[in-house]
Amino acid sequence: MTSHFQPNRRHVLAGATGLIGLALTPEQAAAAAALAIAADWKIAFADLEGDLAPRPLQRVHGKAPAGLAGTLYRNGGAKFRRTKGQATHWFDGDGLIRAFRIQEGGASLAARFVDTPKRRADTAADGVISGGFGTRSGPGARIASPDDVNAANISVIRRGDKLWALWEAGSPFEIDPASLATTGMVTLRDDLAHMPFLAHPRFEADGRIWNLGQVGDKAVIWQLSPSGAVQAATPIALPRASYIHDFTITARHIIIVLQPWVYQGDSPVPMTSLTWQPGLGSQVLILDKADLASRRVVELPTFFAFHMTSAWEAPSGEICFEICASPQPDFVIRTAVDLMAGTYTASSDPKLSLITVPTQGTARIESTGVIAEFPRTDGRGSGPNRFTLHATTQAKARPLFQGVGVYDWRKHQDLVFDFGPDHLVEEMVFTPRPGAVEAFDGWIIGPTINLRAARTELHVFDARRVDAGPLVTWAADVAVPAGLHGMFWRG
């Protein structure tokens, strides 16, 4: 906690004391503050009723580093409730594209909802009739394909002069990067309409894109050109119908983690078709990029994970990658449901872990013990990641995180900046300093929601000195609901 944030702490105590109107002991004040904080987190999961016109952000402290210019694009659900019904899972809100622009030392924010058939149908019905991953569809919905429940709400990528808002079980939506207006749904090829396309595509150094789509135990491996044209869409069979949110690649292989959270049965709500079967263990499916029919499956102990980092391969052929692993999927099953009902249920901590798959013998998963989600790496180079950026410090009595960390794999040390309980930390991203050669020579950029001040803030850190706190912080005049994933586009 730097001095910049101490006034907030004092404000918390002063506010709590004022509320009660009595002199409090420090213990009473702390308890009152904790109660107040417990109520505050709901603004991070509230509804945004309309688009946000571009607005300047006010500088709170610090100075934007010279040479930093570009836009942080982020996505995430931001409209969950309507008069006649609501999303019953955090992952089912309408996608909102946020653009945080940093230019000439200043910053601005604009945000616009993705214009999906789901949002149109739900708006017309004034209910949430087009369900989703954990929300049941209602009467009157028209659901001819997964794209009719596509909320376009998980991530956003930029390719050339286009943004793609990504969901998981359906098509990307093309967005204009300047106005954030939706151009339309992307049909990658006529015969591939309405196919699943995950929100975590992986990129080759030359810009070519690998992605995965999944329906039960069937999957498709997408290969796209840097501009997003289909080069191949190859069907593959999965050894089991696991829930898949992310995957990774090495120079030669595609790596798909198959956890024992498995689709069974035919519920109209996909999440309720998933059964946690810890006795099965976890598996890693390794495909040869050059021959997708060539595969290997290795066994690991049971864990659950959403996210992993880029993978690498030793000269021996040994494959390594990092993963944020929890003992079970209790966040997605319980916490993400309850917080739509306005209550917080604690769930198990995801821990930054390293998976090693030797060419022969037993694969292993080793935990650093560091609480971590939203892992991001430098993105340049193909060897072991020296540093991993992540959200950390699970907040008490409310969902998600309050710190940002950088794990140093050489020193086995996690440098952390803890914003304190007033801030809900979202995914942060790394961007290199122009001309940088060294790993993690650059900046960490990302938002928090200042729950106390009820506003979204944007922070920039020196990536090598995250523990020193933000180099610059700007504040918006509005709290934008917590988002999921995005990327920084320089320029």
Partner 1 sequence: MKLQVKHPLLVSAALAALAAMLAGSASAADLSLTFKVHQSQKGALMVAIFDTETAYTGDGQAVRQLKLDIASDTLAVVVPGLAPGRYGIKLFHDLNGTGKLTFNMFGIPTEPVAFSNNARINMRAPTWAEVSFELPDAGVAQTIDID
134 or 483: CB nearest partner 1: 134
37 or 185: CB nearest partner 1: 185
146 or 446: CB nearest partner 1: 146
Query: E-assigned strands of 426-471?
Result: 429-432, 442-450, 455-462
**Residue 316 in contact with residue 384, Cβ under 8 Å?**
no
196 or 375: CB nearest partner 1: 196
Nearest-5° Cα angle at 365, 327 to 403: 60
The least CB distance from residue 151 to partner 1, in Å, is: 12
Residues 6 or more apart in contact with residue 103 via CB below 8 angstroms: 69
Give kind and range of the element (H or E) at residue 163: strand 162-166
The least CB distance from residue 148 to partner 1, in Å, is: 8
**How far, in Å, CA of 436 to CA of 431, rounded?**
10
Listing DSSP states for 60-97 in one string gives: EEE-PPTT--EEEEE--B---EETTEE-SSGGGSPBEE
The least CB distance from residue 193 to partner 1, in Å, is: 4
CA proximity to 110, closest of 467, 458, 352:
458
The least CB distance from residue 340 to partner 1, in Å, is: 19
Contacts 24+ apart (CB under 8 A), 310-314: 310/202, 310/248, 310/249, 310/377, 310/379, 310/385, 311/248, 311/249, 311/250, 311/253, 311/255, 312/250, 312/251, 312/382, 312/383, 312/384, 312/385, 313/250, 313/251, 313/252, 313/253
The least CB distance from residue 238 to partner 1, in Å, is: 13
Give Cα 451 to chain centroid, integer Å: 20
- Chain residues binding partner 1 by CB under 8 A are 133, 137, 139-146, 149, 168-170, 190-196, 215-216, 218, 220, 233, 235, 263, 266, 268, 270, 273
Listing DSSP states for 304-315 in one string gives: EEEEE---EE-T
**Residue 398 in contact with residue 38, Cβ under 8 Å?**
yes
The least CB distance from residue 186 to partner 1, in Å, is: 14
The least CB distance from residue 121 to partner 1, in Å, is: 10
The least CB distance from residue 222 to partner 1, in Å, is: 12
106 or 216: CB nearest partner 1: 216
CA proximity to 347, closest of 369, 322, 327, 372:
327
CA proximity to 249, closest of 149, 377, 67:
377
108 or 145: CB nearest partner 1: 145
18 or 139: CB nearest partner 1: 139
54 or 268: CB nearest partner 1: 268
Nearest-5° Cα angle at 304, 78 to 263: 80
The least CB distance from residue 384 to partner 1, in Å, is: 35
122 or 373: CB nearest partner 1: 122
